């Protein structure tokens, strides 16, 4: 009887140790899943904001082109709105990549190019307003603005590709974390059932 009692206590102690180990492993796995999910959401937010930045610059260019073609000041509305928002959008994207030096380098170059683009747009608008249409057209036809916009798109694409790669890594971590949490819970439940 004494041996049976001792075996029961050893079994209970073993079960409690397994449950404690399972709780710890499950907690760590679930915590990692939560962190990885948060990082995935962060990446999605960053991708959204980089697309918004690109859209603002395209809107500015579209407004400028519309104004140059028509001389109608109403076409400058998207240009004015975009120029008011570009700097704050650049700062927002920069804060979202602040922990990644390679991305910060891209953002510094992107900010420089965005200002070059806005300066070029402003210059053509100013020339058109001064009835120097041919001078404005010469700037547009020089393809400087197009080259700048291509560089902007390329850098934004690099930022997004880098983030997409990071996101795929994070999604894989989430899947592994979910698997680990499920596995440890299943094993502990199975052991508990066997011991009872």
Other CB atoms within 10 Å distance of the CB of residue 119: 12
pLDDT at residue 106 tops 60: yes
CATH of residue 63's domain is 1.20.120.1730
Query: At 1, is the secondary structure helix, strand, or coil?
Result: coil
Tens digits of residue pLDDT in 28-87: 777 777 777 788 788 889 999 999 999 999 999 999 999 999 999 999 999 999 999 999
CB-CB contact of 110 with 152 (8 Å): yes
Between CA 78 and CA 56 the distance in angstroms is 8
End-to-end CA distance of the chain: 19
Between CA 191 and CA 179 the distance in angstroms is 18
Give the per-residue pLDDT at 99.
87
Q: State the residue range of the domain holding 175.
A: 2-195
Q: How confident is the model at residue 180 (pLDDT cuts 50, 70, 90)?
A: low
Tens digits of residue pLDDT in 131-178: 999 999 999 999 999 999 999 999 999 999 998 887 777 667 666 766
Give the count of domains, the chain: 1
Q: How confident is the model at residue 110 (pLDDT cuts 50, 70, 90)?
A: very high
Between CA 53 and CA 58 the distance in angstroms is 9
Give the per-residue pLDDT at 4.
73
Q: How confident is the model at residue 114 (pLDDT cuts 50, 70, 90)?
A: very high
pLDDT at residue 195 tops 60: no
Give the per-residue pLDDT at 120.
96
Residue 71 Ramachandran class (φ > 0 left, ψ -120 to 50 alpha, else beta): left
Give the per-residue pLDDT at 2.
67
Tens digits of residue pLDDT in 6-17: 777 877 777 777
Ramachandran angles phi, psi of 119, nearest 5°: -65, -45
């Amino acid at each position: 009887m004494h041996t049976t009692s001792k075996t029961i206590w050893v079994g209970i102690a073993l079960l409690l140790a397994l449950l404690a180990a399972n709780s710890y492993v499950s907690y760590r796995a679930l915590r990692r899943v939560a962190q990885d999910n948060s990082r995935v959401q962060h990446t999605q937010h960053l991708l959204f904001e980089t697309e918004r930045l690109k859209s603002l610059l395209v809107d500015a260019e579209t407004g400028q082109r519309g104004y140059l073609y028509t001389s109608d000041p109403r076409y400058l509305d998207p240009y004015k709105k975009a120029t008011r928002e570009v700097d704050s959008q650049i700062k927002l994207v920069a804060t979202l990549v602040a922990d990644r030096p390679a991305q910060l380098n891209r953002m510094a170059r992107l900010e420089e190019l965005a200002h070059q683009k806005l300066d070029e747009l402003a210059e053509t608008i100013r020339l058109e307003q001064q009835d120097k249409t041919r001078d404005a057209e010469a700037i547009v036809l020089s393809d400087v603005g197009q080259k700048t916009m291509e560089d902007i798109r390329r850098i934004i694409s690099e930022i997004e590709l880098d983030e997409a790669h990071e996101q795929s890594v994070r999604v894989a971590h989430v899947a592994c974390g979910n698997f680990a949490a499920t596995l440890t819970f299943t094993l502990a439940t199975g052991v508990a059932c066997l011991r009872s």
